[in-house]
Every structure is written in structure tokens, then in C-alpha cells.
Structure 1
């Protein structure tokens, strides 16, 4: 056994076999299949006008899901007293200051919008990393065992296909917003990335292949020292990585944005409910009532999805309202980075 190995817990799962497979492990696969199924159908092709904008059912549904999972972090940051007490300035002062800055400055508004796009990519890759570390811990391994290897693999398999693949320009074209503040240097970035994408792709493929070999060799060495292989972690990393490469990299069905954001949002909402659902039920006085937790779940979904629907109603030209959605997005990415911690045993 390795020097830092931990006692094996009673279950390798985060919540339970059924819960994990439904909401944490299988979403990359079923989201991919769903994206393929709706490709070319009226769900994503037929437009209708709502709140003055042309939309599709699939496009609106995924936008609502995205916004819903973003605001769900508040149940963990502000809704959990134990966590809230740890970071009073981050949870109370910073959001207000950021909101004021976005409302008052065009530069801050544009920078926040572009930052949100790329922080989302980083954050999404790290969500898979977080789940992987929990499954590793549940297999009886130390929180630090192989941690850096999993961190790099999660980022490589999520962000790599974006830079090297078919959806690269969809992400980098956000830099064109800098034209609104006269920063023409940054508006050249999308063209630069398009012109050099093939070189970046080969660098990522070559470097990624070498890293994957090193990753496997390193874990083989750790296994000889007593590391316990988590089959659930292996499945999660493999299925998510393959889905990302196929979807972001090739976008064969044209639904990359729908697929990748759908499974990410479902996983996150599933995790928040697993950790905070019982607390919410107690706060509402429903935890001990028959069927009470189902009512609490309905309330949780109503609040998060309701915010997601409201965010779709918000007109981006109304800065005071649009700033709220940007603050929620950026605080979600930031809060998520430090309040879910395997090493601090806060998961």
C-alpha cells in the first residue's frame, strides 16, 4: 500500500450506483446520443420568436440548462452556512463590486464576457477532474495520489479538441467584442487562431499522445506501489474524453454545444442536489414529511430552471440586467474552484 493510501470506504460511488450512473457517469454518452438524435430535426431547425428573438426549442432548452447550473452554485456557497462562513468577503463583497464594475465600465463588460467563455472551458474540464478525484478517494487512494496527472488529462481531453477542432472559431470569435472598446489588437486573435490552427492541432495531437503514454506509465508505476485502480474513474475519464474529442473536435452532427453543455449541466445539478438537497429539505421543513424531498427537489429545479428562463428573457442591451448574468457566471466558475475540495474533505 502507498504511504498515503486511505481506508477504502463502504462504496466506490459518490451517492449510490443508480444515482451516479444516471446523473454523473452516463451523461456524456446519453447526451451524445441525444444530440445525434435531434440533429437536423425541427427541435434545432425550426425557429420561433420569443421575447423579440428568433429561437429554436433545442437552443433555448440548452441555454436554460446552462444558466440553471450556473446559479445552482449559490446553494453551496450562500445556502450552506458552513461554507458561507469560510469566505464572507468572496461571497458578499466581490459579487457586488464586480457588478458595479461591469455596469460602470465598457472595458470591464467586454473583458468579463470574453473571460466567461474561456473560464467556462477550463471549469468544464476541471469538473470531470473533480469527479475523478472523488472516485479515486472512494477507491481508497490519497487525495494527492495522481492528482496532477488527472488535472492535465482532464484539461487536455476537454480543451484540446476545442483548440484543434471544428468548434475553435466558435469560442475565439468572442474576442471580436473588443472592437466595441477600440482594442483592435485583440480582434485579430480569431483570424490568427484560424490561420495557425493546423499547427496547433498537430502540436496537441503529438503532445497529447506523448502525455497519454506518460499518464498510463505513471499509473502503472503507482499501481505497483499499491495504488487502487478505480474502474468508475477510468470509465468517467475515458467516456468524457472520447465524447469531447468526437464532439468538440469533429462536430459531425452540428450539435457540439448542445451535447457538451447538456451533460456538464446535468452532472453539476446532480452533484449540488446530492450535497445540498437534504439541507434544502430541512430548511423548507420537508425532509421528514412523506414525499417531502420530492417537493424540495421540485423547488430546487423550479428555482434553478426559473433563473435559466429569466436569463433568456434578459436583453443583453440592458446592462444592469445583463451584468447579473455575467456575475453569476463568473462567480460560479470561481466559487466552484475552491468550495468543492477533496483534499479539504468538503465534498
Structure 2
């Protein structure tokens, strides 16, 4: 007789058990996306794929400098505004961190204006380093969000993600000749002591081993989770790959580092503006205590997205006014405002958007049980931990400021030599060393460096231009003219090069050709006071006194303390009266 197993009757689930199962099922079914697949790909994950062709087309129309200035103003500074709105428009947040929100802007603004007045480079060095850290932490923050969306738990996972982001972002800077060279130059301009080349080379080599080790641990962790049937967020992995690859491309794959900085800045800004809009809109919809400006801007309305972006662009336009202001005091204030805005943005974002905060999770639609973040340290009081962080920043910056103000900056010849030793195959590093040799009167040695730079990078217009200057200093005008012509051919929008070429023509007695070249140089760049003055001299010699006076006056508007222009202007006016 066959025996049939009788199923055991299950006891009725309690209310708490039912609720727990329901919540678990909801978590399991929750979307792995912040918005949805396509919008996440466009705004957060796959944005670089869209940006590269856009920037390629832009470079055909605008110079790298123009692109950098535009993005730096409307993007870099503009995207600071939403964080400021959150800091000062969210009453609960403001009350929680009131001391920070009141003292920090006043202190940083004063320091930044002071640094602009005295040309203190240490503040710019802080902004550079903090900006790189900030960009890296935003990538890490999105990793935490997507892990939480997938309910992928574990603080170990968070630590490995942070180590991976840090290693790859740092390595991209250290191993990029362009980015590393500019960072070293800024460090030395800030008053930093000489770093022995052997130390720098060792650090750059060691980062490769660190990178390999961290990457191996990360891959091992992913494999272990997969084998153990643990949840792995494919969106997070895709985000890491796209963000790190794009960061490397922007630092090592572009011909001009200004374009690379602008490229990643736009990626960073798009992510930031989108996630802040999502957060604030959710906050307005869920929290009835939000009133006034925040409720108006972040209501659910498509047209208000345009208002939001318009405000961002308007705030960013402040950065453009710095170059158009001729009054020095106002210019220093504006530069201070721009720098302080960046530092405040980095500072505020370090504590107002933490994924471990309950409110942040709720507004982003994250289940708290799925959050994997680094645990908040609790061993010391919050005020002490916060003060120590600032001390770590202020003490070395103060030392650098003291060195610069005390005149203890490493001489240009020595520091460019050290950089050239560290980057022996980098054309710009060798060119910079050549320029320092040139300024020291060692023209023949400088020429060798200029030629080496051109051998490494034949399209380096600046090297051709300095070769033209060097041969002119040695009295070889034909060779000078040849190199200036090459430089201008490589960079046909360089008015200064055209002006220098005209100067050689004057020295050769070709005054008619020189006049045409000076006029062309001023059509390219009307702010060349030397070109105005030299053209005015030619016009005076030709008896065209009225036109000469106009150019002398233009030169003095650009550089009021231009003694030769003042003397020649007086002479031209005397001739006019005669």
C-alpha cells in the first residue's frame, strides 16, 4: 500500500511576519534604477557616450580655451547653486548645521578674496585636489545608491568600492603627463618644497601595483558574490566602468587637458543636477513644511525644469564677469566669490547628501535595509572630528601660504628642471624647462629643449614660437621668421604670435608687411598692447598721426603703466599740432 505524505499545515502568519514578507517582496521587486532604464543611462551611466561626439564637434568650432571657460562658468560654477538652495532653503537642514552654514561662507570668502589679492596659489591647489576628490566621491555615491536600489548589503562592499574609485581616479592623475605636470607646477607655485624626482617616479610606479591589487580584490569580491548567489548590481558595475574609463579618457586620452577637464565636468554636472532635482522634487512632494522658493522651483512641472536650468546658468555667469572686469578691486572680489563657491560646494556636499541618512534614502526611493555604506565613526565627538578634518587642511595650506609670502618659492629654473626629469618624454615639460633656461639667458640650451619638444610633438605651436623668439635673440632673423611662420600656421588664431612675427619683419626693414601683420594680430586679439604700440610707431613714421594716437591710447587703456606708449603718444600729439 502506497504511503502518501500529508503536508503539514502552516500556522497563520502573524501581522508582523506578513508585513515583513510584504516589505521583503517589495524590496525584491524594487527597480534597480533611480528613474528608469533609459533616463538613468542618459543622465547617470551612459552620459560619456553622448558627450564625446558633442565635444568633438565643438572643438571644430571653438578653441579648447573657449570651451573650458564656457564649461567652467556655466557648468562648474553653475551647478553649485542647487546645493546652496538645499543648504539655505531646507529649514530643518539649516537648523541642524546652522553654525557651519553661517561661518563657512564668511570665512572662505574672506580667505579666497585675500588669496586673489596676493595671488596665493595654495588656495587654488586646495580647490584642485578637493575637486578631484569631490568628483571621485560623486561616483562612489552613485555606487551606493545603485547598490541600495538592488538591496546589495555590506560595509565591506562599500569599502572595496571606495578603494577602487580612489585608486583609479588617483592613478589617472598621477599617470597623466598633462594633468600631473600642471598639478606639480601649481604645487611649486604654491610654495611647496622640491620633491626629489626619484620619489615622484617611485610613487608613480607604486600606484600601478596598488591599482592592480585593488582591482584584483574588487573582481574577487564580485566573483565571490556571484558564486554565493548574492545580489550584485549590474547597473553599479556599468556605472563604475563608464565613469572610471571616462575619467581616464579625460586625463590621458585627449590632446588638450582643458578639453578633458571640461568633458568630465559636464558629465559630473549632468549627474549632479539630475539627482538633486529628483531629491528636491521628492522632498517638496512629501514634506508639507517646505514652502517658498524651494516649493516653487521643485514642483512637478516640466516648465520649471527650464527655470531650474536657467537659474543654474545665471549663477554660473558670475564666473564670466571676472575676465570682463577691468577694475582690480572688483575683479579680486569676483574671483574670490567664484573660488569660495567651489570650496563651499565641495564642503557642503560632503555632509548634506549622505546615503546613510534616512531622509536621503527616503527621497531617493531607497530601502534602508539595502544600504551598504561605511559606518559613521562614533568614537570621538562630532565637533572634534570636524575640527580635526579642517586642521588637516588648514595646517599644510598655511605652511604653503607662508612659504609663498616669504619668497621661499622654488625658482622656476629648478622646479621646471625637476618636472622635466620626472617627465622626460613629455613635450610640454621640456618646453617649460626650455623657457626657464631662456629667461636665465641660456638661449642655446633653451633651443635644444624647444627642438626636443618639437621632436616629441611636432604640432606644438608654442615651441615653434619660442624657437622664433630664441633665434631673434641670437640675431638670426631669417630663422626666427621661419619658426614664427610655422607657429602661426599651427595656431592661426594666435594674435600674439602674429605680432611677434611682425616685430621680426620690422627688424628686417619690411615695414609694409609688418603693418599688415600687426593689423591682423589685433583683429585676432585686440588686447595686445605691444601690437598697438608697435603699429602706432609705424603709423607715426608714415605720418598717420591720428591713427597712431588711437593705437597709443588703446595700448594705455590695456596697460596704463606703459612708459614707451606714453612717451610716444606725447610725441605723436606734438607732431599733430605742428
Bin of the TM-score, shorter chain as denominator length: 0.7 to 0.9
1:335 has 2:344 as partner: no
| Length-normalised TM-score, structure 1 | 0.81
Larger Rg: 2
CA contact (8 A) 1:110 1:177 kept: yes
Q: What residue ranges of structure 2 are gaps of 5+ in the alignment?
A: 1-23, 286-290, 362-578
CA contact (8 A) 1:165 1:201 kept: no
Q: CA RMSD in A?
A: 3.0
Q: Give 1:201 shift.
A: 3.5
> How is 1:87-106 mapped onto 2 (pairs within 5 angstroms)?
87-104=97-114
Q: Give 1:109 shift.
A: 5.0
Q: Give 1:250 shift.
A: 3.5
CA contact (8 A) 1:9 1:138 kept: no
Q: Give 1:322 shift.
A: 1.8
Could you say if the C-alpha distance between residues 9 and 327 of structure 1 is closer, same or farther in structure 2, counting changes exceeding 3 Å? Answer: farther
2:81 pairs, out of 67, 71, 74, with: 71
CA contact (8 A) 2:109 2:337 kept: yes
SS across alignment from 2:317: helix
SS across alignment from 1:73: helix
Could you say if the C-alpha distance between residues 206 and 256 of structure 1 is closer, same or farther in structure 2, counting changes exceeding 3 Å? Answer: same
Residues 255-305 of structure 1, C-alpha deviations (whole Å, 9 max, x = no match)? 31121111111111111111124667974565899xx72332222112211
Could you say if the C-alpha distance between residues 127 and 246 of structure 1 is closer, same or farther in structure 2, counting changes exceeding 3 Å? Answer: same
SS across alignment from 1:111: helix
2:183 pairs, out of 171, 175, 198, with: 171
CA contact (8 A) 1:103 1:109 kept: no
Distance 2:351 2:298 in 1: 32
Could you say if the C-alpha distance between residues 113 and 21 of structure 1 is closer, same or farther in structure 2, counting changes exceeding 3 Å? Answer: same
Residues 144-200 of structure 1, C-alpha deviations (whole Å, 9 max, x = no match)? 35001111111222221111113212233222442xxxx3xx1646xx67x766544
Could you say if the C-alpha distance between residues 220 and 107 of structure 1 is closer, same or farther in structure 2, counting changes exceeding 3 Å? Answer: farther
Distance 1:150 1:288 in 2: 32
Higher RCO, Cα 8 Å, sep 6+ = 1
SS across alignment from 1:78: helix
Distance 1:81 1:34 in 2: 40
Distance 2:282 2:225 in 1: 37
* Structure 1, 238-247 or 124-133: larger mean CA deviation: 238-247
Give the number of aligned pairs: 321
> How is 1:133-148 mapped onto 2 (pairs within 5 angstroms)?
133-142=144-153, 144-148=155-159
CA contact (8 A) 2:113 2:333 kept: yes
1:211 pairs, out of 186, 209, 214, with: 214
The match for 2:322 is: 314
Could you say if the C-alpha distance between residues 226 and 27 of structure 1 is closer, same or farther in structure 2, counting changes exceeding 3 Å? Answer: same
| Length-normalised TM-score, structure 2 | 0.51
Distance 1:131 1:312 in 2: 31
2:302 pairs, out of 294, 297, 302, with: 294
Q: Give 1:11 shift.
A: 1.1
